[in-house]
């Protein structure tokens, strides 16, 4: 089984093709970085990988299901197996941080165990902010909260879009450590970033592969980082 498969995928927002002829497979338990200049299509690639966008041609397969054949409810169910850290960490601003983190449970009419929630808040270092509203959080706190929300339902895959986008180096390392820990627990990880230092740091800790978007294509980068 592969977790995510792209076969000759192309995507266009209406103008020329942003991504062309993308073919790749993400195996279970793998750790990938996705890099490329701003506007290259990293977020677009991730959106294809969690079925927010459908390919204009080619085929995207999630957990061996062709996304074009998934109903809206199937997509909702598939997303419960994918933890998504959105580039702008979307939250429900009227609900507390704790309630936001429990949201993936709430929307599937399941209960989150208070113990798990407590552990998770401790893990991302946000215990003291459980009752805060999202607009009151700093950029780094939001990103850690988004990561915590992505992993709360114990997903098989984590797709993180610039998870260290607006935090200092020290905080970037903490977030990277969290991702590496998740990978060691067997989760498949894909991180979009243009922070090459972060990639180098990760490669020192685990076996990570790097995908680079250049000239509308996604290629596996060599060891030349």
Ligand X SMILES: Nc1ncnc2c1ncn2[C@@H]1O[C@H](COP(=O)(O)OP(=O)(O)OP(=O)(O)O)[C@@H](O)[C@H]1O
Binding site for ligand X (CB under 6 A): 13, 18, 36, 38-44, 87, 194
Q: Which is nearer to other proteins, 35 or 55 (CB)?
A: 55
Strand, coil or helix: what is 81?
coil
Work out what residue 106 binds among other proteins, ligand X, Mg ion, none; the CB cut-off runs from 5 to 8 Å by kind.
other proteins
Q: Give the integer Cα–Cα distance in Å for 98 and 94.
A: 12
Asked if 157 and 81 count as a contact pair (C-beta separation under 8 A), the reply is yes
Q: Taking CB under 8 A as the rule, does residue 111 contact other proteins?
A: yes
Distance CA(131)–CA(50), nearest Å, equals 30
Looking at 1-9, 40-48, 50-58, 171-179, which segment touches Mg ion (CB under 5 A)?
A: 40-48
Q: How many residues sit close enough to other proteins to count as binding (CB under 8 A)?
A: 35
Q: How far is the CB of 19 from ligand X (least distance, A)?
A: 9
Total count of residues recorded for the chain: 225
57-62 sheet: strands from edge to edge? 19-26, 4-11, 57-62, 65-66
**CB under 5 to 8 A by kind: which of Mg ion, ligand X, other proteins, none does 88 bind?**
none
**Taking contact as CB under 8 A, which single stretch among the options 26-34, 84-92, 135-143, 197-205 is the one that binds other proteins?**
84-92
Phi, psi of 96, deg, nearest 5:
-65, 165
**Identified binder of other proteins from the candidate list 87, 106, 166, 201, rule CB under 8 A:** 106
Distance CA 108, CA 42 (A): 29
Burial category of 131 from C-beta neighbours within 10 Å (exposed 0-12, middle 13-18, buried 19 and up): exposed
For tokens 């590496």, the residue is: 180
Which residue, chain included where needed, has tokens 């990988």? 49
In this chain, which of 27, 92, 196, 206 binds other proteins, going by CB under 8 A? 92
Considering only residues 78 to 97 of the shown chain, the ones binding Mg ion according to CB under 5 A are: 87
Rounded Cα distance between 224 and 100, Å, is: 40
**Binding-site size, Mg ion (CB under 5 A):** 3
Site for other proteins in 157-216 (CB under 8 A): none
Q: Which residues contribute to the site for other proteins (CB under 8 A)?
A: 51-53, 72-73, 75-77, 79-80, 84, 86, 90-95, 98-99, 103-104, 106-109, 111, 114, 117-118, 127-128, 130, 149, 153
């Amino acid at each position: 089984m592969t977790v995510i498969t792209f076969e000759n995928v192309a995507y266009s927002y209406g103008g020329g093709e942003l991504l062309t002829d993308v073919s790749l497979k993400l195996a279970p338990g793998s750790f990938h970085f996705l890099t490329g200049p701003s506007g290259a299509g990293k977020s677009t690639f991730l959106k294809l990988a969690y079925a927010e966008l459908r390919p204009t041609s080619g085929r995207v397969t999630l957990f061996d299901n062709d996304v074009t054949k998934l109903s809206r409810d199937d997509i909702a169910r598939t997303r419960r197996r994918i933890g998504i850290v959105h580039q702008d960490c979307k939250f429900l601003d009227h609900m507390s941080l704790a309630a936001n983190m429990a949201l993936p449970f709430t929307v599937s009419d399941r209960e989150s165990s208070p113990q798990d929630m407590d552990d998770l808040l401790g893990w991302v270092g946000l215990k003291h902010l459980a009752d805060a509203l999202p607009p009151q959080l700093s950029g780094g706190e939001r990103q850690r909260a988004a990561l915590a929300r992505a992993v709360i339902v114990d997903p098989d895959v984590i797709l993180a879009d610039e998870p260290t986008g607006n935090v200092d180096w020290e905080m970037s390392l903490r977030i990277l450590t969290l991702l590496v820990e998740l990978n060691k627990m067997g989760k498949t990880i894909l991180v979009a970033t243009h922070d090459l230092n972060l990639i180098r740091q990760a490669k020192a800790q685990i076996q990570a592969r790097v995908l680079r978007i250049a000239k509308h294509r996604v290629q596996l980068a060599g060891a030349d980082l």
